[in-house]
A and B are shown apart, each in its own frame.
Chain A
Amino acid sequence: MADVPSDAPQHCPGTSSSQAGKSSACQGCPNQTICASGATQAPDPAIEEIRVKMASVKHKILVLSGKGGVGKSTISTQLAHGLAGDSSTEVALLDVDICGPSIPKMMGVEGEQVHQSGSGWSPVYVEDNLAVMSVGFLLSSPDDAIIWRGPKKNGMIKQFLRDVDWGQLDYLIVDTPPGTSDEHLSVVQYLCGAGVDGAIIVTTPQEVSLQDVRKEIRFCEKVGLPVIGVVENMSGFLCPKCKNMTPIFPPTTGGAEKMCLDMGLSFLERVPLDPRIGKSCDEGRPFLTEVADSPAAAAYRSIVRGVTEYCASRRHQGDADQTAAGQRQDGEP
């Protein structure tokens, strides 16, 4: 059954919700008895379908933040470009921000269309080895608003993970909206069979941001999602005229570095504010290559290195675990 059947009432909680058949909105729904019986609570078959689909994807990385506007999409974009800088590495960027899809504009592919074939939806290629998928490609006008409740957003995310023909990938980066809600639960749930390598958490230095980000970290703990590390974005602005550094978003409680110390997380990097970053994103051009000598570009490259090293160590650990398991099977000590 679809997560929100076509004959469901307006506030249908979704057939896979724990409230299925039991919420007040379910009164009078023709599917109420089925939902209340628990039949719809069985594991979603899409999880296995996605596990099979993701077998050709070596590493899956989520980019998260509890807070909006800290630079998740910007960092996802730079990370994607950075990883794809090696032409032998196949990279894809999946944008699951259904209400505010920024990735097409930032990658310079706004207005592109998605095509369907026998093997599924084709993503949009920015480079030969860099593919992008976003709900933005399904909208016909920049004014179109997606006014969807949770269950419908979940359905879209399921399709993105199951029906896009990604092909062989070294890295799939998933850019998320702010918060700890439907989109985040759905991505983690649908990928639980396939496995996620880890999450990069993005924050800005102020406590107003950190207080939301700590919640996101608690979310990661709750769902068993490893945190690769934390990036502190918009970390100070260097005046181009007098060269003084001003902390526009002041780290009044010690910033991300102190938070990482307190929570036992890896502090990946600090990225300064640079007006050229916003400009590149608005124009859909790759900042990392166009302003390669800037301190911000150096910071992005460091983040890329952090991610590749983390994934490589997981591969080696995975190989070592497999070898050990194989030896035990053969009766070796």
Chain B
Amino acid sequence: MDHSGEKGNLSQVQHVVLVLSGKGGVGKSTLTTELALALRHAGKRVGILDVDLCGPSIPRMLGADQQAVHQCDAGWVPVYTDAQKSLALMSIGFLLESPDEAVVWRGPKKTALIGQFVSDVAWGELDFLLVDTPPGTSDEHLAVVENLRKHKVDGAILVTTPQAVSTGDVRREITFCKKIGLRILGIVENMSGFVCPHCSECSNIFSKGGGEELAKLTGSPFLGCVPLDPQLSASIEEGKDFIQAFPESSTFSSINRIAQAVMTSTEAV
């Protein structure tokens, strides 16, 4: 992992963290977005690379879906969510002519674009680059890891929901990480319980505890639970900053704990 003298576009990126799950729909993009916002809240410069080419969710979640990407000498300029350039994004979502446009590509074409996303985006100085991935263990994941080999990757966060059907897929993702030598920073159990806003009764809609059990089973750190929160879903829908809107919520504390754990485990190395 020698990156001394590396003048590439990732040379000023301090930490790279992948957000993975074998399972779809567990909240990878949501968690990537919220982690990025939490890290920014903690004063860090953050970038998000969205390598989900078929279902790019990041632009909308950060209210940036109307934006387009521009070129500079070093490559593509990432899309910034504000004038202060505190959060930089890259996604195929910015390259599509229409939001309904389907990207119907086989593996090799996806691999090629991801290669470009990794090396041709002029990220500049970042404390953290979070990489949001699609579900699975296939072309996109191999492409991202292979292209990042020249640069140091701190590790991966694995997201699961509590049920066995989800942890069953995430176990396979853990095997993928071990096979390619990717450090597992920890497991997050998302959609972990729902507190009724009317009567405060807690319902475990997608079961409970599976993420923590998986962490124990595989010897991985457990980063914590994030509950099902309609306010979080609504913020994500509308591309609003949940952390700014609901700083007192227990959901924010859960996310903040995960962000702290990420900072501790990456900056200590």
Q: Which residue of B lies closest to A12 (CB)?
A: B108
Cα of A153 to Cα of B140 in the assembled complex, Å: 14
Q: Which residue of B lies closest to A179 (CB)?
A: B54
B106 CB contacts on chain A under 8 angstroms: 13-14, 17, 150-151, 181-182, 185
B234 CB contacts on chain A under 8 angstroms: 250, 252
Give chain B nearest CB distance to A244 CB in angstroms.
4
Give chain A nearest CB distance to B212 CB in angstroms.
16
Cα of A11 to Cα of B111 in the assembled complex, Å: 9
Encode A240-255 as 1/0 by CB contact (under 8 A) with B: 1110101111101000
State which of B11-19, B68-76, B199-207, B246-254 sits at the interface with chain A: B199-207
For window 267-301 of chain A, which residues contact chain B by CB distance below 8 Å? 273, 275, 278-279, 281-282
Give chain B nearest CB distance to A246 CB in angstroms.
6
CB <8 Å contact, A149 and B237: no
Q: A145-B22, A248-B205 are in contact. List 11 more A-B contacts (CB 8 A).
A: A23-B108, A69-B26, A69-B161, A98-B138, A144-B172, A211-B57, A215-B102, A215-B103, A237-B205, A241-B201, A250-B234
Give chain A nearest CB distance to B4 CB in angstroms.
28
> A229 at the A/B interface (Cβ < 8 Å)?
no
Interface on B for A, CB 8 Å cutoff?
Answer: 22-26, 29, 54-55, 57, 60-61, 99-111, 134-139, 141-142, 161, 163-165, 168-169, 171-176, 179, 194, 196-199, 201, 203-207, 228, 230, 233-234, 236-238
Give chain A nearest CB distance to B62 CB in angstroms.
12
Give chain A nearest CB distance to B230 CB in angstroms.
5
For window 218-267 of chain A, which residues contact chain B by CB distance below 8 Å? 218-219, 222, 237, 239-242, 244, 246-250, 252
Give the residue of A204, A240, A279 whose beta carbon is less than 8 angstroms from that of B207: A279
Interface on A for B, CB 8 Å cutoff?
Answer: 11, 13-14, 17, 19, 23, 25, 66-70, 73, 98-100, 102, 105-106, 142-151, 153, 177-182, 184-185, 204, 206-208, 211-212, 214-219, 222, 237, 239-242, 244, 246-250, 252, 273, 275, 278-279, 281-282
CB <8 Å contact, A278 and B163: yes
Instruction: Name A's interface SS.
Output: loop
Give chain A nearest CB distance to B252 CB in angstroms.
18
Cα of A70 to Cα of B23 in the assembled complex, Å: 11
Q: Which residue of B lies closest to A276 (CB)?
A: B205
A278 CB contacts on chain B under 8 angstroms: 163, 165, 205-207
A184 CB contacts on chain B under 8 angstroms: 104
CB <8 Å contact, A242 and B201: yes
